[in-house]
Amino acid sequence: MMTQDLSQDVLTPIWLTLALASSTTIILLIVGTPLAWWLARSKARWKEVVAAFVSIPLVLPPTVLGFYLLIALGPNGPGGALASLWGARTLAFSFPGLLIGSVFYSMPFVVQPIRNAFEAMGDRPLEVAATLRASPCRAFWSVAVPLASPGFLTGAILGFAHTIGEFGVVLMIGGNIPGQTKVLSIAVYDFVETSQWATAHLLAGGMVVLSFCVIFSMMLIEKRLRQARS
Amino acid sequence: MTKENKIAFLFKTPLGHFDLDVALDIPARGVTALFGPSGCGKTTLLRCISGLNQASVGRLVVNGEIWQAEGYFRPAHRREIGYVFQEASLFPHLDVRKNLLYGSNSKKLITVHDFDYIVDMLGLGRILNRSPHNLSGGERQRVAIGRALFSEPKLLLMDEPLSALDKPTKEEIMPFIERLHENLQLPIIYVSHDMNEIEHIADYLVLMNEGKIVASGALADIQSDPNLPLVNYHDSAVSLEGSLVDYDAHFGIAKFEVHGGFLNVPSCEIAIGVKRRLKVYASNVSLSLENIKSSTIENLIPACIIDMKETNPFQVTVVLRLGRQGDGARILARITRRSWETLGLSINAAVYTQIKAVSLVRKEY
């Protein structure tokens, strides 16, 4: 009984965290790539304003971001209006709400490396592709994406890892609902609060190992990709 | 030039300290060189033709096909051009073969024959499976040329394709570019600030300065026009098209017929009838009033003075036409002003040109 409880207490947050981090990463790759492309290639002056907004989560205390998200996702915000479509009152304190929060919170970590990679590539490869009759769409997929692949990899891994590590935003908009919003970082906090040190150790140690593996493999893969490109 | 075999353009667009402001018809065959100092707008003009730049005012008609007009702009990827940049700019994530075939139309797959022909012409056979990282500068540029050719362009644009290369590499690539010129019926616009390259390959020359076209015409005409700056160059020269009529194997001297006379050129044995481009430097030509038979100078050809230009207070450059009637090819002679006055030379005077050295510009391959 005890072991089953423990495994529930430990495994559910792990699974939830991985689900949140992978969905966030996928959404950010889909949304962030066109945004990074526009930031890298547009000549619009106000694009840096957009870039600054994207990067705000880097400096903003997560509780501040979480506070605004709470309002936006709540019954009186756009999130509430959206939730009313399927009869719910609010998007806050739910997995979709958490996902929306994570997307905003982790966006700079995905957009920035991809933008840098597109900028580092310069205009020339795309010009060459155009003079070889490649449509802008073909040039994007056959030249820009492969050349920027180290940036995509860095962005995806940073976005994934950063979502795993998020705490403040989750606390503000997700609360602590087991199986729905109780992610790893919150679970560790909970175990410590309730003096379940052994379980806290297990989770915390696991996080350290996982984070190390993620960062280390990213560095290795990136190094290899860069060698292949340079 | 009829509408179908010319490239007609008009472009106006800001260009740093001045505007690019050009309008010209050039032949859609052979090699047209755009020549001028760095920053005079040659590359911008080439980019306007390619569609990589959009001039604020522009008109471009290639072989009767409108590529740009008021309210119409065909984007670069819909223009049937090949573009060779100063740096090879190969795709680093593709091997040589995939780079070469990137622009070839997959629907009408390039035939094996065409592929082998171009690969052989550019000497790429042994590097097809290599990655661009492992190529020398010269190999890279040859792949870039091949890649442009495989897109089956109707117009090849080359933007100083040799200027990023060191001298030995330049000499390695030049024959390949000459082969393009000789073997393919493909008009080429070639940007350069190196007269030596232009003397090798250009048929038609456009002189540019500060965004404007100073002059344009057949290469030899521009080289020998006393009102244009080329005649004042320290190493000014005229290119002549010659065909081999005799070869003296004992002395290794080839006799070429040029318009208005014959030129003897030390050369390895080449077949009779072969056409070669010859180059005569103004400083290698002297003039005399009599036919001096006893001289070490190989070439003594009657000619007629048609113009002259004071290069500096003590030197003049004389423009001559070969032949007794003065109806042959033009050449230049650089002589002192004292000789000009002592010999009593004047325009329309008949003289003998002594040509000390003639170079074969296009070598055998």
pLDDT of residue B326: 85
pLDDT of residue B1: 61
| pLDDT tens track, chain A, 230 positions | 345 566 777 888 888 999 999 999 999 999 999 999 999 999 999 999 999 999 999 999 999 999 999 999 888 888 888 888 887 778 888 888 899 999 999 999 999 999 999 999 999 999 999 999 999 999 999 999 999 998 999 899 899 989 988 888 888 888 788 888 888 888 888 889 999 899 899 889 988 888 888 888 878 887 887 776 66
Q: Using the beta-carbon criterion (under 8 Å), do A229 and B93 form an inter-chain contact?
A: yes
Residue B296 lies in a domain: yes
Tokens for B320, please give them: 């001559």
Quote the number of domains for chain A.
1
Taking the Cβ of residue A147 and every Cβ of chain B, the question of whether any pair is shorter than 8 Å is answered with yes
Whether residue B258 sits in one domain with residue B148: no
pLDDT of residue A24: 96
Judging contacts by C-beta atoms under 8 Å, the chain A residues touching residue B76 are 127, 130-131
The residue ranking higher by pLDDT, A60 or B114, is A60
Give the side-chain half-sphere CA count within 13 A for B28: 20
pLDDT of residue B365: 38
CATH number of the domain at A218, please.
1.10.3720.10
Q: How many CB atoms lie within 10 A of CB A213?
A: 10
Question: What φ, ψ does residue B264 adopt, rounded to 5°?
Answer: -95, 130
Contact B246, B255 (CB under 8 A): yes
Name the pLDDT band for B359 (thresholds 50, 70, 90).
confident
Phi-psi region of A18 (alpha: psi -120 to 50; beta: other; left: phi over 0): alpha
The residue ranking higher by pLDDT, B220 or A219, is B220
Q: Using the beta-carbon criterion (under 8 Å), do A132 and B103 form an inter-chain contact?
A: yes
Distance from C-alpha of A33 to C-alpha of A107, rounded to nearest angstrom: 11
Contact A197, A66 (CB under 8 A): no
CATH number of the domain at B38, please.
3.40.50.300
Whether residue B243 sits in one domain with residue B155: no
Name the pLDDT band for B109 (thresholds 50, 70, 90).
low
Range of the domain at A168: 2-229
Domain end, chosen from B173, B188, B223, is at: B223
Q: How far is A123 from chain B (nearest CA, A)?
A: 10
Whether residue B130 sits in one domain with residue B251: no
Taking the Cβ of residue B78 and every Cβ of chain A, the question of whether any pair is shorter than 8 Å is answered with yes
Q: Using the beta-carbon criterion (under 8 Å), do B76 and A230 form an inter-chain contact?
A: no
Q: Using the beta-carbon criterion (under 8 Å), do B102 and A135 form an inter-chain contact?
A: no
pLDDT of residue B269: 72
Residues paired with residue B281 on neighbouring β-strands, in sequence order: B237
pLDDT of residue B280: 93
Beta carbon pairs, A and B, within 8 Å: 60
Whether residue B241 sits in one domain with residue B209: no
Residue B229 lies in a domain: no
pLDDT of residue A48: 93
Q: Using the beta-carbon criterion (under 8 Å), do B77 and A128 form an inter-chain contact?
A: no
Whether residue B154 sits in one domain with residue B242: no
CATH number of the domain at B258, please.
2.40.50.100
Stretch 21-50 of chain B: residues touching chain A, C-beta under 8 Å: 50
Whether residue B254 sits in one domain with residue B161: no
Tokens for B318, please give them: 């004389």
Range of the domain at B101: 3-223
Quote the number of domains for chain B.
2
Q: Using the beta-carbon criterion (under 8 Å), do B76 and A125 form an inter-chain contact?
A: no
Q: CA torsion angle for B44, B46, B49, B51 (degrees, to 10)?
A: -60
Taking the Cβ of residue A202 and every Cβ of chain B, the question of whether any pair is shorter than 8 Å is answered with no
Q: Is residue B275 over pLDDT 80?
A: yes
Percentage of chain B beyond pLDDT 90 is 63
pLDDT in tens, B10-28: 999 998 888 999 999 999 9
Closest in B76, B89, B147 to A124, CB measured: B89
Show the CA angle centred on residue B320, arms to residues B319 and B322, nearest 5°.
155
Q: Is residue B364 over pLDDT 50?
A: no
pLDDT in tens, B310-331: 988 999 999 999 998 888 999 9
Judging contacts by C-beta atoms under 8 Å, the chain A residues touching residue B105 are 133
When the pLDDT of each residue in chain B is averaged and rounded to a whole number, the result is 90
Name the pLDDT band for B351 (thresholds 50, 70, 90).
very high
CA distances from A178 to A186, B193, B356 (A): 10, 73, 98
Residue B230 lies in a domain: no
Q: Percentages helix, strand, coil for chain B, rounded to the nearest 5?
A: 25, 40, 35
**ipTM reported for the complex, 2 dp:** 0.86
> Which of A189, A136, A148 shows the shortest CA–CA distance to A167?
A189
Residue B149 lies in a domain: yes
Q: Is residue B232 over pLDDT 90?
A: no
pLDDT of residue A1: 38
Residue B365 lies in a domain: no
Helices (runs of H) and strands (runs of E) counted in chain B: 8, 21
Nearest chain A Cα to B50, which residue?
A131
Whether residue B137 sits in one domain with residue B210: yes
